[in-house]
Structure 1
């Protein structure tokens, strides 16, 4: 009889129909190898490869990895391995069999996402969810939210990314933009064709996309339950990297590739649903509007936006995107009606677009914090105020909401000062995230940049 969360997951894997479906797929399609993968706190995909015939065994037993993998097995500047040190116990990664998918670029290969647990042999906490599993955190936060409120978060993301290589050079007048230019889409047609084909084969319902800036493409898929959207964003990134390898070009989700270029955002478009109904919309209204519950949820998002920036803008480079005013990235925490300069844009009846997350975001952590902020806003009936009029690059920050952090260091401090955001991730994950990002910020502050060389090398006397 199952006694722990790990045991329950094992039983679900071995007793359900999903395992037989996976085994049949392996046999019918000639799958030879499988990646059992998980996602680190920075969004990196880790895992192990194995002969597919062993997946049935792994569905019950799991695989073991050193727990510091959650922080990319990275050491601090002092040489300490983050996440527990060299002697820390391993975690057990157990497949979620409903995520099994054959890789369309090589059907001899497949992949499956895993959730992470404390190993069986521990004297205390054996089989409990591993606290630093970002994918597991979202599942727990979302399930608790639904149990308490009857609501689910549905979201769609807009991952922008930069491609470069032979034939992809942008050509346009400097006073204009290549955005939406079909000629530039045509130059990248092999990219677009392969990405869409592979993504659809992996279960993403691809919809519209466009060319946005020099080398920047945005290809989107249909919104869904936030847990699925997060998995699909990770899958999409893997698809894009594979396409780049095949075409001999480079593909990057770096948030701000160069000064003056559009940043690579990953806007989160979200709505809240109960019994199949979007509660952010009032049926029958044609004007751009938000329901009362929608306004409260929005109020929560704005209240905790600054503290969420450690996740929404998770790298040193992320903050270069917010400094470049006029490039469609937010500079103040506010909201507006179809206003692309605001932090949150009401883009359609019942749909809010959060513009802070960038293309390097960990989607499990971003959605977990978004759910927590919405939940508090609903519980406290937080008023978001009136929508911003005109460009939010002009005027002052709304005093009811904290200012947007403009460096990773400031984002760390804002996160540390917000009990709800820390509580949502849990103390272990929150501490590990802060430790990792403090080290990253310190490394940057101690590095000499090209800008400094160009500015100061010949400056004195």
Structure 2
């Protein structure tokens, strides 16, 4: 009888000493309950809470959830649950033991990240990895990429977010910005101090942050392997929501909270490493540059950026960033040397900044799409073209790459037409994501907005 993916994970968790570090942490901190959590296709955290006394059993057995939890138990407009229907089999969620942490805001709680599998009893596919588990999909993609190429994707993200509550809005002179203003950081010291304290306790190496717009704060942590960066972004969002609860205010990663405000982006900075060597660099060259391999990887990313936009800008609201003038969002698919108007900015030797992702993304999905695009660029030595010189705004551009989708509807079409990205993610995940987002777009298209009421209610005769 062949060994399944689920069998292998269970064997890994049941080996001698595998749980020692978890049990030591449980005893030291007095953990009473543990969250067994995973991340849905849209980036929502779901799971179960279980008394810590069951950790030995569930480290091997895992927990069960209804299959459609992976798509937020969302029904389409016809009332059908997406991702399997009400009668679908549950999936099995098995914890990654190295992901265990004690939650610093309440040390009686711990948490695991889990990977998902088809349950043992399902004929033909029992025990196989769940095809719609974005975290599991990306981990497998990266492992295969590294085994084949010897390369590792390392990333860092820049999540911006908006905080709202009494005294949190900035006051500043007209036609200027409160960005970088220490006075506004001081007004929000209780926010950033608590976020940094909790994040540090959960393994994020916090490095810098600033105030960017009214209520908007960006706090960053050190780059690392892409899997850890994705986990940490999810953890960071949970931390921010907890801090908001404690302070009696609101925290949101909505991409565009209001017209005229800066959008909440989440730029992904990436590099490729072979051992201790960053292959995007040319040793000994000091001026801003990109190696040939780096250019090929970049060429792949730009080639698939139109199709990737459904992951990078995953909501109707995401595209409001691109329609509000002067907001530093890209307007075309291109790249430049330290050029903030481009889709990809070579911000330092060996590091490329991808500016399409916003703060609402599923980071496993964005990283999977980035990795797949880079991989094709390397395989086919895709040329990214010459870097953009000067501002991208108001220029025609190179037209080397497809146009940047400017609505969720356009992004759905672009993703659906990119067969390479869909095959890279796997048809089941790609189809479910398309179904979910097409339903979201249809709901928006059928909604009557305040703008329509103001514009048309008294327009005639």
TM-score by length of 1: 0.99
Structure 1: gaps of 5 or more residues: none
Q: Distance in 2 between matches of 1:174 and 1:4?
A: 62
Q: What is residue 83 of structure 2 aligned with on the other side?
A: 83
Deviation at 1:2? 7.4
Q: Distance in 1 between matches of 2:253 and 2:21?
A: 34
Q: What is residue 252 of structure 1 aligned with on the other side?
A: 252
Residues 194-209 of structure 1 correspond to what in structure 2 (within 5 A)?
194-209=194-209
- Output one character per residue of 1:142-179: Cα deviation in whole Å (capped at 9) or x when no partner: 11111111101000000000001012121101210000
Residues 33-48 of structure 1 correspond to what in structure 2 (within 5 A)?
33-48=33-48
Q: What is residue 61 of structure 1 aligned with on the other side?
A: 61
Deviation at 1:80? 0.5
Residues 145-294 of structure 1 correspond to what in structure 2 (within 5 A)?
145-294=145-294
Q: Distance in 2 between matches of 1:6 and 1:105?
A: 33
Q: Distance in 1 between matches of 2:248 and 2:29?
A: 28
- Output one character per residue of 1:286-341: Cα deviation in whole Å (capped at 9) or x when no partner: 10000000000000000000000010000000000111232111111000000001
Q: What is residue 346 of structure 1 aligned with on the other side?
A: 346
Contact 1:95–1:113 (Cα < 8 Å) also in 2: yes
Q: Distance in 2 between matches of 1:109 and 1:174?
A: 46
Q: Distance in 1 between matches of 2:458 and 2:376?
A: 54
* Compared CA separation, residues 18 and 205, structure 1 to 2 (3 A): farther
Q: What is residue 355 of structure 1 aligned with on the other side?
A: 355
* Compared CA separation, residues 95 and 252, structure 1 to 2 (3 A): same
Q: What is residue 93 of structure 1 aligned with on the other side?
A: 93
Q: What is residue 32 of structure 1 aligned with on the other side?
A: 32
After the TM superposition, which of the residue ranges 301-310 and 449-458 deviates more from structure 2? 449-458
- Output one character per residue of 1:412-445: Cα deviation in whole Å (capped at 9) or x when no partner: 0000111111011101000000000000000000
Q: Distance in 1 between matches of 2:133 and 2:16?
A: 24
Q: Distance in 2 between matches of 1:38 and 1:455?
A: 43
* Compared CA separation, residues 16 and 185, structure 1 to 2 (3 A): farther
| Paired residue secondary structure (1:290) | coil
Deviation at 1:14? 1.2
Contact 1:325–1:393 (Cα < 8 Å) also in 2: no
Structure 2: gaps of 5 or more residues: none
Contact 1:30–1:108 (Cα < 8 Å) also in 2: yes
Contact 1:37–1:112 (Cα < 8 Å) also in 2: yes
Q: What is residue 130 of structure 1 aligned with on the other side?
A: 130
C-alpha root-mean-square deviation of aligned residues, in Å? Answer: 0.9
Deviation at 1:140? 0.8
Deviation at 1:16? 4.8
Q: What is residue 72 of structure 1 aligned with on the other side?
A: 72
Deviation at 1:397? 3.7
| Paired residue secondary structure (1:17) | coil
Q: What is residue 380 of structure 1 aligned with on the other side?
A: 380
* Compared CA separation, residues 104 and 295, structure 1 to 2 (3 A): same
Q: What is residue 434 of structure 1 aligned with on the other side?
A: 434
Deviation at 1:276? 1.4
Q: What is residue 414 of structure 2 aligned with on the other side?
A: 414
Deviation at 1:3? 1.0
Q: Distance in 1 between matches of 2:425 and 2:115?
A: 16
Contact 1:170–1:184 (Cα < 8 Å) also in 2: yes
Q: Distance in 2 between matches of 1:16 and 1:230?
A: 29
Q: What is residue 119 of structure 1 aligned with on the other side?
A: 119
Q: Post-superposition, which runs of at least 4 consecutive aligned residues in structure 1 deviate over 4 A?
A: none
After the TM superposition, which of the residue ranges 11-20 and 354-363 deviates more from structure 2? 11-20
Contact 1:241–1:251 (Cα < 8 Å) also in 2: yes
Contact 1:271–1:352 (Cα < 8 Å) also in 2: yes
Q: Distance in 2 between matches of 1:385 and 1:397?
A: 11
Deviation at 1:17? 3.0
| Paired residue secondary structure (2:19) | helix
* Compared CA separation, residues 2 and 204, structure 1 to 2 (3 A): farther
Q: What is residue 7 of structure 1 aligned with on the other side?
A: 7
| Paired residue secondary structure (1:283) | coil
| Paired residue secondary structure (2:47) | strand
Q: Distance in 1 between matches of 2:181 and 2:364?
A: 33
Deviation at 1:230? 0.2
Q: Distance in 2 between matches of 1:233 and 1:2?
A: 36
Q: What is residue 456 of structure 1 aligned with on the other side?
A: 456
Deviation at 1:46? 0.0
Contact 1:73–1:81 (Cα < 8 Å) also in 2: yes
TM-score by length of 2: 0.99
* Compared CA separation, residues 41 and 16, structure 1 to 2 (3 A): farther
Q: Distance in 2 between matches of 1:173 and 1:144?
A: 53
Deviation at 1:245? 0.1
Q: How many residues get paired? A: 461
Q: Would you say 1:102 and 2:85 are equivalent positions?
A: no
